Structure 1
Amino acid sequence: NFFDNAWKYHNGRSEERMGKALKDGYRDKVFLMTKVAGRDAKSAQQQLEDSLRRLDVDVIDLWQCHEVVTESEPYKIYNEGVIEVLLKAKEEGKVRYLGFTGHRFPDIHNEMIERGFDWQTVQMPLNILDHHFRSFEQEILPKALKKDIGVIAMKTLGGTPGQIPAKAHLATVPECLRYAMSLPVSTVVSGMDSMDYLKQNI
């Protein structure tokens, strides 16, 4: 019942569609997460308002800084007002928890964590290939657990849908998912853009 989304997915249509799906009492049955792409206070605040409107909710369970992947982004998030917007949103009860995501370099995740903000979650790639190269599992997972940060595993199949099982042929979909779920994570995000992928995930 963990639902992943983002302000910029499909130019906002993803949040709008999810908002419609959560009608008729379904909102209370899910843990709703979306992400903010803004790197300054004004854009972050506007995106919060957009997300609340599109999702048609009063509260977002988890609001995460989206795709923190370049060396300049931690500085922008911490120094150009984004942190203040995150804290204000939480204080006002518009969001419950705060986190960040990224999928390129563990060093950038490390900087986000080491700057001292009390992140509740971190979302990062965790799969059988990550273990061997630029490993979030080895470099970030232990640090997040030590700081009591909830870990959300993504790209469990390697990135594009089914990359590891379909292209590399190193493991099946169930094996990839079992590997990610065997790690000390809070939840696993796995894409499902077709009924076949949905059935495989289930």
Structure 2
Amino acid sequence: MTKARVNSEMLYRELGSTGEKVSAIGLGGWHLSLKHVDEQMAIRIVRSAIDRGITFMDNCWDYNNGVSESRMGKALRDGYRDQVFLMTKIDGRSREAAAKQIDESLQRLQVDCVDLVQYHEILRFEDPHRIFDQEGAHAACLEAQKAGKLRYIGFTGHKDPYIHLHMLEVADQSGFKFDTVQMPLNVMDAHYRSFAKLVVPELVKRNIGILGMKSMANGILLNSNTVTPIECLHYALNLPTSVVITGMDSMEILEQAFEAVRTFHPMTEDQVQTLLSKTAEAGARGEFEPFKTSSIFDGTAQHPDWLGQEPQRLQQLMSAAG
């Protein structure tokens, strides 16, 4: 269990059926290595967040060529690691690629074990089959779990709620229950290919930890001029989320997250509908959710080599057919 500093500035929630209690706000790792954020500022943001009660740390093997993990690893020295629930993600679909990426993430984060590893960017209907193939990434994660390199297993995606449901279905066929699932949950999502409407109820039923992301979509939602940052965070916190992961690239944005927690109260149905009515027109076509409607956010589409090789037996089937 994470030795979190219970802090009155932060809310804490159960992480599905894991028995873990985590901060309702998670610190998004991608922003820690943006061009305008130097290493010292990244370390300051992480440590300030932890000092004030944020325990959930988000990262990924591919974020800014590993720089995000390296910076977080440096920030978690000097006793900070023991105060957080540390998550990272891998892109590998093959057993070999996944195992390699897990080890590289551990090295960058300077830890022997991460609390949660998630399969990143489940964007295609074939991704679940590749992962749960006998030569797939899931075999590597189970081996790493057995070896004490990771504790829990989840998956993420931002494209289509039906692909998330398919991932759960393929996992069921393999006799596996995920610990967490991560997805976009924001004031626009309710109006277009909605994860909140289609995936969240299924996760609640299964008692799987719900991780919300893209509450402001890196500021893109705010360009609609329909909602404020605090409203975006309040909406995501009001859903049955265990954690709302938000990017922090300055002390001001960190403060904004704590302001959202300080001012949050469970919303009535009328309050939710009033907020959603403000975003209905802007959100109707996915214009402000380009991660659903374009490939701009799809790192694995731009770097297919990250996925690893297709299963050998499928290649052999193709050869036999040829």
Shorter-normalised TM-score: what interval? over 0.9
TM-score w.r.t. the length of structure 1 is: 0.95
* Structure 2 residue runs without a partner (length 5+): 1-54, 259-322
- Contact 2:125–2:166 under 8 Å retained in 1: no
Equivalent positions of 1:54-133 (< 5 A) are 54-79=108-133, 80-115=135-170, 116=172, 117-133=176-192
Q: Deviations over 1:4-34 (max 9, x none)?
A: 0000111111111111100000000111000
Q: Is the 2:131–2:137 contact (alpha carbons within 8 Å) kept by the matching residues of 1? A: yes
Root-mean-square deviation over aligned CA pairs: 1.1
Aligned letter for 1:127?
Answer: N
Q: Is the 8 A contact 2:115 2:151 kept in 1?
A: yes
Q: Identify the residue that residue 199 of structure 1 maps to in structure 2.
A: 255
CA distance in 1, matches of 2:161, 2:250: 30
- Structure 1: gaps of 5 or more residues: none
Q: Which residue of structure 1 aligns with residue 196 of structure 2?
A: 137
Q: Do residues 149 (structure 1) and 208 (structure 2) align?
A: yes
Q: Deviations over 1:150-178 (max 9, x none)?
A: 00000111x2x22222x101111011100
2:161 counterpart letter in structure 1: P
Q: Distance in 1 between matches of 2:201 and 2:253?
A: 30
For residues 65 and 126 of structure 2, the distance between their equivalents in structure 1, rounded to whole angstroms, comes to 24
Counterpart Cα distance in 1 of 2:68 and 2:109: 9
TM-score of the aligned structures, taking structure 2 as reference length: 0.60
Q: How many residues align?
A: 199
- Measure the CA separation in 1 of the matches of 2:126 and 2:250: 35
Determine if contact 2:121/2:156 at 8 Å carries over to the other structure.
yes
Greater Rg by CA:
2
Q: Which amino acid aligns with 1:162?
A: G
